[in-house]
Structure 1
Amino acid sequence: MQEHDTAWVRTEMALAQQAPAGVRGPLAWVRKNLVGSVGDIILTVLGIALVVLILPPIINWAFISAQWVGADRTVCATAAQGGIQPDGWSGACWAFVNAKFGQFMLGRYPIEERWRPILVAILFVALLVPLLIPRVPRKGLNAILLFLVLPIVAFVLLVGGMFGLPHVETQLWGGLLVTLSLSFVGIAVSLPMGIVLALGRRSKMPIVKTLCVVFIEFVRGIPLITVLFFASVMLPLFLPAGVSFDKYLRALIGVSLFAAAYMAEVVRGGLQAIPKGQYEGADSLGLGYWQKMVLIVLPQALKLVIPGIVNTFIGMFKDTSLVIIISMFDLLGVVKQNFSDPSWATPQTTKSGLIFAAFVFWLFCFGMSRYSMYTERRLDTGHKR
């Protein structure tokens, strides 16, 4: 090849250039997402009109005209201009939430001992946050502290009765403490147990497969209320005389087993989505069954079903409200229980309390959902783009 035939070949990399002005910036985003077509324009106008119609009254009720502090319901009774409003109130009664906040968080846990669940919450956050940040090192040690050491420390602190700590019965627990503890234990137990059940259901050993199928289908065929009712009321009837379990422990076991059955089906869907060539490739390398599953199959399967796993976690977090059937009070149960307080028994405190509980549930569920989306993007190494 002669020298003049390669004169057009670039000998150095071209410098990166900015995108054209017409496809970047706020105006470009508006043109693309809000007014890109006639349909987009119509939906944008309708959306703006809906926001203008709904948002100002909500802001006025929740913030501007709301009452934030007070000793009883009288602080929320105000007259609007031109007369009393239909329900006799001009805004949200956040004073009710402020006055009952300690109960909403910890139930009837003794006030002088509330430093113990607060300390557990601080330790939980301090161990959970580094585990969720990919760049923080020593994940193995962090996981051991969170899932093995912290439960023991939390049991000692919350229950007491040792190391000089007064004993606090679980009947006094309530509020967000019950919601988070049930959810955390349920998540920590249901995921590994669901993986084992999913592998057992796909096992070639008839006895193992049959036992796993029977357990999964039986638990999935009954509602959680039935499981909790059986664990609280019926289970003691089948135990020997003098043998009893704490009601809170029964709820933990019931929620964990119930979530594990659903988790097993989610994981089984991921296992079935793995191509057969992955199994054959692992066999050709001479890997054993557990080596093949732990190193090759499960990492790919769990990555595929992250949305389903998080969806199960969110459902379990919200289903903790059903423990009221066995006379345990989670966040929603404690909020509803305080509606009967004569000092705060008004329609406005009912609205404010329910909205507060809904916001707390939404905050945790939204956080789990967003983190799962972040994890999906970070682990997105598939072939589809």
Structure 2
Amino acid sequence: MTDFCRAAPAPQRPPPEIDRPFRAVLRENFFADGASAAMTFAVLAFLALVLPPLWRFLIEDAVWRAPDGALCRAPGAGACWAFIAAKTPFFHYGSYPPSQRWRVDLAFVLAAATIFWALWPGARGKSLAAFGFFVVLPVAGFALLSGAPVLGLPRVGTNLWGGAMVTLLVALTGIVVALPGGALLALGRRSSLPALRLLCAGTIEFARGAPLIAVLFMANAMLPLFLPPDWAPDRLLRPLFGMALFASAYMAEVVRGGLNAVAPGQSEAARALGLSRVAALRLVVLPQALAAVIPAIVNNFVPLFKDTTLVAIVGIFDFLHTVDIARLDPRWAGPKIAATAYIFAGLFYLAFCLSMSAYARGLERRLAAGRSVRS
């Protein structure tokens, strides 16, 4: 027992941290040395030059209500938010029939509820939420948006779809397919079967080596050539397939990096406990691999959401395309109106991208806290 007795006093621990005054925190972070102070003053000077005119343009001199663009074209007028208010239904639904727009709202309420359920940290039934997101939601969403005469929902052609609904649809399709598709491609690339390994590696390298615009053009032009005329995919399904393939290829390399970060002993220990190879992969290896690459996964989802604007190249009316079309209305034509339209579009994409990044940072903190507790 003497081997486990302490032979020397335990080292002293530092006193617990106490709340520091605000001035100390400010000095430490912004005025720690000459370079830090110079950079702080430079940033403050830049903000002092930029923020006042930006505030006047966006808020003080802005036109909030107007029947047309005449007030927005007047000298001294600022941002034309009246244009945004007048065109909001078009930005949201495109040319979707007004009497059927409740179907779009219901589809995205279901999507938001499913995503909230799946991503909320304390929610129960995560497997059921994942099944609803990856299986039930695509079927229900397609029936609502496209129509189902059996259920009394008239058909609405995709040529009438547009705006934010198309942008969110393309982004959700890419996200839904990218993670499982990328995981399957990454596992196939690590397979011991040469044919499967070469097929997955070729798919990944082809999709990653070609620009997304080229992938969208090939999907739009070549998919109908491989199917019978009666089975030709819809004009919206073609870019969806190209976007899903492109996102899955990039996600495959992210997942492969996570798989390489998991020690081989994890899989061997799971097999020693009696788990099958598939069970060990699903329950032990993949959770650790995905947790290790969460920043890279979100880093793929953020540009994927922004790349949805490229579907306009093949004639799809996404959100940015509808904004660009709306500003050409002669009643609302004007340089300040166009500037307001693009500022609004930038805020739309910025809000979604910042939300994804904020959720990823919170998830990283929770995972790091869990690892520190277990260690």
**When the two structures are superposed, what TM-score results if normalisation uses the length of structure 2?**
0.91
TM-superposed CA distance for 1:18, in Å, is 7.4
Amino acid at match of 2:239: A
Structure 2 residue corresponding to 1:369, chosen from 357, 362, 373? 357
Question: Which residue number in structure 1 is paired with residue 126 of structure 2?
Answer: 139
Take 1:219 and 1:41, find their aligned partners in 2: how far apart are those partners? 47
Change (3 A) 1:356 1:317: same
The answer on 1:115 being equivalent to 2:99 is no
The answer on 1:335 being equivalent to 2:323 is yes
Change (3 A) 1:132 1:239: closer
Take 2:349 and 2:229, find their aligned partners in 1: how far apart are those partners? 40
Take 2:106 and 2:272, find their aligned partners in 1: how far apart are those partners? 51
TM-superposed CA distance for 1:71, in Å, is 2.1
SS in 2 for 1:73: coil
TM-superposed CA distance for 1:119, in Å, is 1.5
Structure 1 stretches lacking a partner, 5+ long:
1-8, 10-16, 81-89
Question: Which residue number in structure 2 is paired with residue 74 of structure 1?
Answer: 70
TM-superposed CA distance for 1:186, in Å, is 1.1
Structure 1, 297-306 or 150-159: larger mean CA deviation: 150-159
SS in 2 for 1:247: coil
Structure (1 or 2) with the greater helix fraction: 2
Give deviations 1:43-76, integer Å, cap 9, x for gaps. 1111111111111110110111011122211021
TM-superposed CA distance for 1:207, in Å, is 1.2
TM-superposed CA distance for 1:35, in Å, is 1.7
SS in 1 for 2:153: coil
Amino acid at match of 2:107: V
Question: Which residue number in structure 2 is paired with residue 222 of structure 1?
Answer: 210
TM-superposed CA distance for 1:339, in Å, is 2.2
The answer on 1:285 being equivalent to 2:281 is no
TM-superposed CA distance for 1:218, in Å, is 1.1
Among all aligned residue pairs of Structure 1 and Structure 2, give the percentage whose two residues are the same amino acid: 45
TM-superposed CA distance for 1:209, in Å, is 0.6
Structure 1 residue corresponding to 2:178, chosen from 179, 190, 193? 190
Change (3 A) 1:287 1:320: same
Take 2:263 and 2:128, find their aligned partners in 1: how far apart are those partners? 33
Question: Which residue number in structure 2 is paired with residue 149 of structure 1?
Answer: 136
Take 1:40 and 1:67, find their aligned partners in 2: how far apart are those partners? 40
1:18-37 alignment, distance < 5 Å: 19-20=17-18, 24-37=20-33
Give deviations 1:127-166, integer Å, cap 9, x for gaps. 2223222112222223333332222222221111422222
Structure 1 residue corresponding to 2:115, chosen from 119, 128, 148? 128
TM-superposed CA distance for 1:275, in Å, is 2.1
The answer on 1:344 being equivalent to 2:346 is no
Change (3 A) 1:137 1:239: closer
RMSD between aligned residues: 2.2
Question: Which residue number in structure 1 is paired with residue 195 of structure 2?
Answer: 207
Amino acid at match of 1:67: V
Take 1:18 and 1:77, find their aligned partners in 2: how far apart are those partners? 62
Take 1:145 and 1:216, find their aligned partners in 2: how far apart are those partners? 28
Question: Which residue number in structure 1 is paired with residue 3 of structure 2?
Answer: none
Change (3 A) 1:239 1:125: closer
Change (3 A) 1:275 1:316: same
SS in 2 for 1:379: helix
Change (3 A) 1:43 1:241: closer
SS in 1 for 2:65: coil
SS in 2 for 1:100: helix
Structure 2 stretches lacking a partner, 5+ long:
1-8, 10-14
Question: Which residue number in structure 2 is paired with residue 303 of structure 1?
Answer: 291
TM-superposed CA distance for 1:19, in Å, is 4.3
Structure 1 residue corresponding to 2:233, chosen from 225, 230, 245? 245
Question: Which residue number in structure 2 is paired with residue 41 of structure 1?
Answer: 37
Give deviations 1:296-350, integer Å, cap 9, x for gaps. 2111111111111111111111111111111101110111111221111211111
Question: Which residue number in structure 1 is paired with residue 4 of structure 2?
Answer: none
Take 1:220 and 1:377, find their aligned partners in 2: how far apart are those partners? 31
Structure 1, 235-244 or 262-271: larger mean CA deviation: 235-244
Structure 2 residue corresponding to 1:104, chosen from 77, 91, 112? 91
The answer on 1:65 being equivalent to 2:61 is yes
Give deviations 1:167-211, integer Å, cap 9, x for gaps. 111111111101111111111111001101101101111111111
Aligned residues of 2:204 and 2:249 also touching (Cα < 8 A): yes
Q: How many residues align?
A: 361
TM-superposed CA distance for 1:225, in Å, is 1.1
Change (3 A) 1:146 1:282: closer
Change (3 A) 1:28 1:357: same
**When the two structures are superposed, what TM-score results if normalisation uses the length of structure 1?**
0.88
Amino acid at match of 1:49: A
Change (3 A) 1:283 1:139: closer
TM-superposed CA distance for 1:236, in Å, is 1.9
Take 2:337 and 2:163, find their aligned partners in 1: how far apart are those partners? 17
Amino acid at match of 2:353: C
